[in-house]
Structure 1
Amino acid sequence: MTNPTDRYIHAATRENTRKSYRAAIEHYESVWGGYLPATADSVAQYLAHYAPTLAINTLKLRLAGLAAWHNDQGFPDPTKSPHVKKVLKGITELHPHTETQAKPLKLEDLNRVVSWFDEVLRSELCTRPRRLTLVRNKALFLIGFWRAFRSDELTRINIENVSVVPEKGLEIFLPRSKTDRSAQGRVVRVPALLQLCPVSAYLDWVSEAQLREGPLFPGINRWGHLSEKSLHPASVITIIKQSCTLAGIPDADEYSSHSLRRGFASWSNTQQWDIKALMEYVGWKDVKTALKYIEADDPFLSQNNKRGLNLPDSNM
């Protein structure tokens, strides 16, 4: 008989995290040839073997998977040993890694993609399935950009949790997110705009698809049937890349699920938003995370960010 608490334990960990942990265990056992339960020495050897080829963040993720397995099975966690920590620190020193960041989708490129959506939608050759897909993707781009959503946040939005506030915009309740450690959820507001309006795009999509309940951005098959399940976050990346490619935007393959988020952060920076206001709007808790999303070569960054956060001068 299944333990009733197992359901809640399972829900406490995100599905993507569980997949990452399973991949880590498979890599340790099947690819490297390690044995479980592991010893601190074998984990250290595993890290040293892959240090020249894997990024430090990937190694840390593998360690998290190994740690989770040992904790779940009731074994001592070898990843917490001083020996493993020292090896990891040495890898960081000898194999410095520059974090790859998503290419920000600039406002002019967002306009270009939306214009392409509208042009195809006006075509007499646009079929019903194609029309549904384009109207959905347009809403996804505009809501994702103006609220700086991650792909997993976009795919968690349910139509029941969205309300239209007349003359103001949308209110969306997110039941949970990556930074919401206590799982309390939060309400975010999406503004109504004169151009590139996310609210109009939302209303067009809901009307076109006759949505009443379920995911706001469901999958759509070749016959135009809407899935009962939301798009997978990885599918959002594909949609962004393909849409930018079809709109004729150069280097579209460099975009990812964070491109909408980085694009908004860069735009708000050019509009001279205070960094604290940006963090509150997006939901960032850590200033270091926020600064990663802002173009570093913007002269506003070095002045307004210090003013907003009272950061000490680097020369002091």
Structure 2
Amino acid sequence: MSRLAQYLEAAERDNTRRSYASAIRHFEIEWKGLLPSTADAISRYLADHAATLAINTLRQRLAALSRWHTDQGFADPTKSSLVRQVLKGIRSVHAVPEKRARPLELAVLQQIDQWLDAAISNAQQSGDRSALLRHTRNRSLLLLGFWRGFRSDELVNLRVENTEVTPGQGMACYLGRSKGDRQLQGRTFQCPALSRLCPVTAFNAWIDLAGLMEGPLFRKIDRWGHVAEESLHANSLIPLLRSLFAEAGVESPEEYSSHSMRRGFAGWARASGWDIKELMEYVGWKDVKSAMRYLDASGATLQARFELGLTAVAPAGTQQPPPLLLLRK
């Protein structure tokens, strides 16, 4: 591969490249579409899959087709008014509520951590190195994923040599690229050391046990206790977490995904009084709309929320009602 090709490949995330290639294959091979295409053909493609594909999937397919035409020097048919109108009609006819992962609440996180603590002790006593490595890795992945609000691709792209621990204070994780970093400037994510459920302690335990000095932080482990050179794949995190949650006795583990850690942290921070601006800065959201997708509305009733506000201004019993005025006859 030439140096130019290396730079071009580095400019785009692996997940984006794979998903775009898959979308083009679907259009050309499965649907038998021709490239370059026309607005009419792409509109028919959307209509043929409107009932079976989610609206976000259709948008992703359009983005891939748009990219292909632009890269090949052709006019982009996906920007036509016909395609926009068809997509608008599909949204109207096939409107469905957005499926979102269940947030990982702090109580559930503690339940899983306690189970992992017991599982690690049992593996140590029985000499089961494979189980010991797996549980220790999962504990580090879970706690760091929660307290940093990391996406799945961010977790699997963490590297040992780019992570620095300051004893008693916390850790700093550098990522050269992430979904929110459109300019590929890289960013260092700080994470504090905590008195319990500590991500720093869990990180140290994992790299010490696995003997990691460099390379991917979270790796595959086979049944014989061999730690792989390559990292976990982002798509493997959902089944990994659901299996872990099921083992720990969490109710309805199938409702959780890798986004559950990010949503759970956002909910915890909101309940703990974090300002939306500092939450956006910490997690890495660029706009309020992105942040609000992760924040659930308060579960309190309308009356309870009003009464809470009244109590904060004037606690009950501190004010006397005004005297009644006697009307003259």
TM-score for both structures, normalised by structure 2: 0.87
Counterpart of 1:163 in structure 2 is: 164
Counterpart Cα distance in 1 of 2:58 and 2:29: 16
Deviations 1:184-227 (A, max 9, x none): 11111111111101111011111111111111111112221211
Counterpart Cα distance in 1 of 2:211 and 2:63: 43
Q: CA RMSD in A?
A: 1.7
Percentage of identical aligned residues: 50
Counterpart of 1:61 in structure 2 is: 60
Q: Check whether the contact 1:269–1:300 (CA below 8 A) recurs between aligned residues.
A: no
Counterpart Cα distance in 1 of 2:277 and 2:283: 10
* Pair 1:189-2:190 in alignment: yes
1:90-169 equivalence runs, <5 A: 90-123=89-122, 124-125=125-126, 127-169=128-170
Counterpart of 1:33 in structure 2 is: 32
Cα distance, 1:15–1:280 mapped onto 2, change above 3 Å: same
**Stretch deviating more after TM superposition (88-97 or 211-220):** 88-97
Counterpart of 1:307 in structure 2 is: none
How far the C-alpha of 1:74 sits from its partner, in A, is 2.4
Counterpart Cα distance in 2 of 1:53 and 1:226: 40
Counterpart of 1:311 in structure 2 is: none
Counterpart Cα distance in 2 of 1:81 and 1:8: 32
Q: Check whether the contact 1:56–1:97 (CA below 8 A) recurs between aligned residues.
A: no
Which amino acid letter does the alignment assign opposite residue 120 of structure 2? Answer: L
Counterpart Cα distance in 2 of 1:183 and 1:249: 38
How far the C-alpha of 1:300 sits from its partner, in A, is 11
Stretches of structure 2 lacking an aligned partner (at least 5 in a row): 306-329
TM-score for both structures, normalised by structure 1: 0.91
How far the C-alpha of 1:242 sits from its partner, in A, is 0.7
Which amino acid letter does the alignment assign opposite residue 31 of structure 1? Answer: E
Counterpart Cα distance in 1 of 2:110 and 2:59: 38
Counterpart Cα distance in 1 of 2:234 and 2:94: 31
How far the C-alpha of 1:118 sits from its partner, in A, is 0.9
Q: Check whether the contact 1:120–1:126 (CA below 8 A) recurs between aligned residues.
A: no
Which amino acid letter does the alignment assign opposite residue 6 of structure 1? Answer: A
Deviations 1:224-251 (A, max 9, x none): 1211111111112122111100000011
Deviations 1:19-55 (A, max 9, x none): 1112111221222222222111100111112222222
Greater Rg by CA: 2
Counterpart Cα distance in 2 of 1:298 and 1:206: 40
1:212-227 equivalence runs, <5 A: 212-227=213-228
Which amino acid letter does the alignment assign opposite residue 175 of structure 1? Answer: G
Which amino acid letter does the alignment assign opposite residue 213 of structure 1? Answer: E
Counterpart of 2:286 in structure 1 is: 285
Counterpart Cα distance in 1 of 2:157 and 2:139: 17
Counterpart of 2:238 in structure 1 is: 237
The alignment partner of 1:224 has SS state of coil
Counterpart of 1:306 in structure 2 is: none
How far the C-alpha of 1:95 sits from its partner, in A, is 2.4
How far the C-alpha of 1:298 sits from its partner, in A, is 3.9
How far the C-alpha of 1:4 sits from its partner, in A, is 3.7
Deviations 1:4-29 (A, max 9, x none): 42221122111111111121112212
Deviations 1:285-310 (A, max 9, x none): 11111111112234599x9xxxxxxx
Counterpart of 1:262 in structure 2 is: 263
How far the C-alpha of 1:111 sits from its partner, in A, is 0.7
